[in-house]
């Protein structure tokens, strides 16, 4: 199966589902398609977007290692890492309330997607990790969203312990997840419950409330582009090339 991003209209929400055979990693094309899908859903009648990945195990493995190894210059690096910033900016400026459904582990950019959501519901298997430092870069582009969600102290711990998994319970305690359930049936039931409630609320009121959630982020297009440039430069180092080669 090839990578894909699909849109599906449900009773109470519009779902966006991404898939990649490499544990739902995020190549450039998937990032572009996510931005397009989020934009398209802005005109849907539903008040809610559900962001989810396919499969039962990994939610998202982060950046595509295959594409990281192909970056040869600053321009290519900036273009690739800007893809993450573009998704985050599309999520924060969408007029819809975005729920992330997290069925399994999330790494790097996957944690960024969760952080850019307005509400996150996870299973107890949904551990998280920011692995970037271990390969010679850092969670620069997703950092503003993650830090805004969980606070500076928790973000610092994730960023400086790139080999360590933090449990779903840890993530909930620090505000990354709003709810954690033992089984995915419970996750899906709660999503349907919430979206059903939100469907009865004023779209205008929800849009204005979302603006409140994201106050102070109007400068993020420039900020995240700057951060993408840092990652794009570091990814070309010999340290990073060797670190990625050891993991492939």
**243 in any annotated domain:** no
**219 in any annotated domain:** no
**129 in any annotated domain:** yes
**104 in any annotated domain:** yes
Range of the domain at 93: 4-184
Query: Of 195, 227, 215, nearest to 109 (Cα)?
Result: 227
Task: Summarize pLDDT for 60-77 with one digit per residue, the tens.
Answer: 999 999 899 999 999 999
Is pLDDT of 1 > 80? Answer: no
Structure tokens at 1: 């199966």
**227 in any annotated domain:** no
Backbone phi, then psi, for 189, in 5-degree steps? -65, -40
Taking the model in full, what pTM does it have? 0.97
**222 in any annotated domain:** no
Backbone phi, then psi, for 174, in 5-degree steps? -105, 10
User: How many domains in the chain?
Assistant: 1
Query: Which H or E run includes 14?
Result: strand 14-19
Residue 117 sits in a domain whose CATH number is 3.90.226.10
**143 in any annotated domain:** yes
Angstrom distances, CA of residue 116 to CA of 68, 98, 223, 237:
23, 9, 15, 29
| Per-residue pLDDT band at 136 (split at 50, 70, 90) | very high
**241 in any annotated domain:** no
């Amino acid at each position: 199966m090839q990578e894909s991003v699909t849109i599906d209209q449900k009773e109470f929400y519009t779902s966006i589902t991404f898939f990649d055979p490499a544990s739902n990693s995020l190549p450039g094309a998937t990032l572009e398609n996510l931005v397009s899908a989020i934009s398209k859903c802005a005109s849907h009648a539903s008040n809610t977007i559900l962001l989810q990945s396919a499969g039962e195990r990994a939610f998202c493995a982060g950046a595509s290692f295959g594409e990281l190894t192909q970056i040869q210059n600053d321009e290519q690096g900036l273009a690739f890492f800007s893809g993450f910033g573009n998704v985050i900016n599309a999520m924060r400026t969408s007029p819809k309330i975005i729920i992330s459904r997290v069925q399994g582990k999330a790494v790097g950019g996957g944690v960024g997607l969760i952080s850019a959501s307005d509400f996150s519901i996870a299973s107890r298997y949904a551990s998280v990790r920011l692995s970037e430092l271990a390969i010679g870069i850092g969670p620069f582009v997703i950092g503003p969203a993650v830090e805004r969600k969980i606070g500076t102290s928790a973000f610092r711990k994730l960023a400086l312990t790139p080999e360590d998994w933090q449990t779903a319970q840890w993530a909930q305690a620090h505000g990354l997840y709003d709810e954690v359930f033992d089984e995915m049936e419970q996750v899906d039931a709660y999503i349907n419950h919430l979206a059903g409630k939100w469907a009865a609320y004023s779209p205008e009121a929800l849009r204005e409330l979302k603006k409140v959630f994201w106050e102070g982020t109007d400068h993020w297009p420039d900020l995240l582009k700057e951060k993408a440039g840092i990652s794009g430069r570091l990814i070309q180092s010999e340290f990073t090339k060797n670190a990625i080669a050891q993991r492939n």
